[in-house]
Amino acid sequence: MSALIKVGAIDDDRFDRSRRIGWLDMERIQSARCFVAGAGALGNEVIKNLVLSGVKSIMLVDMDYVVRSNLNRCVFFREEDASRKSMKTDIIAKRVKELNSEIRITPINSRIEEIDLGCLKDYDVVFGCFDNIGARLHLNAHAYYYGVPYIDGGTDGITGKIQVVLPPDTPCLQCATNKTHMKILEKRFSCTGADISIYEPKIPAEITTTSIIAAIQVREGLKIISGKKENCIRHVCYYNGLLNTFDSFEVSLDPMCPVHLSSYFKSF
């Protein structure tokens, strides 16, 4: 006897079209745990893409509240959020329910340096959506130490970059730092007084670049979750929005990198 097929059954499955992509492992994706640091423009897009892709468990960390300048590139924020100075993580945790009521998102209102990152060992992928070097390197070091894949994204106007760090096989963010990065860090950390701050001009940002970089971050994460690490970006991928080009720049693994050394001595 042939089985009866319900009319419209295919369209009743939220993830039917995703299941048609052979390498996507929807069971793993739906059971995966993702850690997202940064709830600005990139963070909004990364969270949106993760939820729509089927990820149901997310921790989101950010210390900031919503302002009006966020509204032209942050899909989860509204004018009333800026007026009330609502915390970014709280608003995103509330609004993602409109995309998928089954989502479990834990909002943490804090600087990344102020939380216990030992929790990273319980996550499958870590996404960095920061706008400063210090926070990036801090999260990179902890993710590498606990052996968790870290996907870093950044934008500057109509350009952007993505780096996928796969411990212990690939270079990490620290391996790719240069003298300019270190000068910025020295400038930031030379200010030790509670009432002292340094002025750093805001980075240009626009939504199409943000969308592209976040989409690639999440796609790399889906590869990792689905067991396709060998297909991930191996070095640093740069995007030029003016020319619509992508370029890959090789980064060498630095054997004296403090991140790699700490992971090496941890094994003893």
CATH of domain 23-266: 3.40.50.720
Interval 174-205: pLDDT, tens = 988 865 545 545 444 433 344 444 446 788 99
262 CB-near residues (< 8 Å, 6+ apart): 141, 145
d(CA 148, CA 92): 24
Q: Identify the pLDDT of residue 140.
A: 97
Domain boundaries, the chain: 23-266
Does the structure show a pLDDT above 90 at 136?
yes
d(CA 12, CA 8): 7
C-alpha distance from residue 58 to each of 6, 22, 28, 118, 241 (Å): 34, 25, 14, 16, 30
Q: Please name the amino acid found at residue 148.
A: V
Please report how the helices 207-225 and 41-53 are oriented relative to each other, as an axis angle in degrees rounded to 10.
40
Interval 30-41: pLDDT, tens = 999 999 999 999
C-alpha distance from residue 265 to each of 117, 169, 261, 262 (Å): 19, 16, 6, 5
Compute CA 16 distance to the chain's CA centroid, rounded to the nearest angstrom: 25
pTM for this entry: 0.90
245-252: average pLDDT:
92
Give the mean pLDDT of the chain. 89
Phi, psi (rounded to 5 degrees) for 176: -95, 5
77-95: average pLDDT:
98
Q: Please name the amino acid found at residue 179.
A: K
